[in-house]
């Protein structure tokens, strides 16, 4: 029989929603092993290798992967498609359930666990959607949704509808451009926050406990808006 830490499942977590590619193996809230690349959009070249290394680690420790969790977006169209495709294939091959994790929520969870945040503050993850647009949402410290996930074009009034008197904590790769347009009191910026597979663990285990799985055949990424192809520039 496989050796397990306890009765909690061993979950393989996949995150590819931005230019960071990461995979983590976890059980009972602990990271068993993880692999990350911050150098750019190398997901297609790296993801399969990271997954294999996690599976090899599990085999070496006589553990069986019992679920696959994948970040569903919003984020990069290409990255999300690569991650979900790999996750579906792996879950099918292992005959285990597939868990879909909201990228904005996993970012909020990561900040909640790693940063010193006032209990009354609002967590506002922001993913760059090009130009002055971001994918964003707002949550309280219990991850209750205060502002629904949405694409948002940034201006000086952005997030002005959030509950008054509560600090808004903005973070993610979309927050850098927000600094230039949102300059009012009650707003705090946390730099260098990216979605990582290690930040998915609590949400993936929660959904596994609730048996909140997604369909292998019909599940799709949460793009939040339709893909728009850009026209190539004329050379002459």
**If you ran DSSP here, which 8-state letter would residue 214 be given?**
B
- How do 133-139 and 187-190 pair as beta strands? unpaired
Q: What is the set of domains in the chain, with CATH numbers?
A: 11-102+195-209 (3.30.420.40), 104-190 (3.30.420.40)
pLDDT at 133: 96
Q: Which of 204, 206, 176 is nearest to 189 (CA)?
A: 176
Closest-CA residue to 75 (of 41, 28, 98, 113):
41
Local structure of 83: helix, strand or coil: helix
CA distance linking residue 154 with residue 159, whole number of Å: 9
Peptide bond into 74 cis (omega under 30): yes
Are 106 and 24 within 8 A, CB to CB? no
142-180 b/e (C-beta count within 10 Å ≥ 16 → b): eeeebbebeebebeeebbeebeeeeebbbbbbbbebbee
Question: Rounded to two decimals, what is the model's pTM?
Answer: 0.91
Per-residue pLDDT of the chain (236 residues; tens, 9 = 90+): 345 545 789 999 999 999 999 999 999 999 999 999 998 878 999 999 999 999 999 999 999 999 999 999 999 999 999 999 999 999 999 999 999 999 999 999 999 999 999 999 999 999 999 899 999 999 999 999 999 999 999 999 999 999 999 999 999 999 999 998 998 889 999 999 999 999 999 999 999 999 999 999 999 999 987 644 444 444 43
């Amino acid at each position: 029989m496989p050796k397990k830490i306890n009765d909690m499942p061993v979950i393989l977590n996949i995150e590819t929603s931005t230019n960071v590619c990461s995979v983590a193996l976890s059980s009972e809230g602990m990271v068993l092993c993880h692999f990350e690349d911050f150098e750019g959009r190398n997901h297609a070249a790296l993801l399969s290798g990271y997954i294999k290394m996690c599976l090899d680690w599990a085999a070496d420790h006589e553990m069986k992967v019992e679920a696959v969790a994948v970040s569903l977006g919003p984020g990069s169209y290409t990255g999300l498609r690569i991650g979900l495709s790999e996750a579906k294939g792996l879950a099918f091959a292992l005959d285990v359930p597939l868990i879909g994790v909201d990228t904005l929520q996993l970012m909020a969870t990561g900040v909640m666990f790693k940063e010193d945040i006032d209990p009354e503050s609002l967590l506002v993850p922001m993913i760059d959607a090009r130009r002055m647009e971001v994918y964003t949402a707002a949550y309280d410290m219990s991850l209750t949704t205060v502002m629904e996930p949405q694409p948002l074009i940034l201006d000086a009034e952005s997030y002005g509808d959030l509950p008054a008197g509560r600090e808004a904590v903005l973070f993610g790769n979309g927050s850098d451009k927000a600094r230039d347009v949102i300059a009012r009191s009650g707003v705090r910026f946390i730099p260098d926050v990216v979605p990582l597979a290690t930040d998915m663990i609590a949400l993936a285990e929660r959904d596994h406990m609730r048996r909140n799985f997604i369909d292998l055949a019909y599940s799709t990424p949460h793009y939040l808006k339709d893909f728009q192809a850009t026209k190539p520039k004329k050379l002459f």
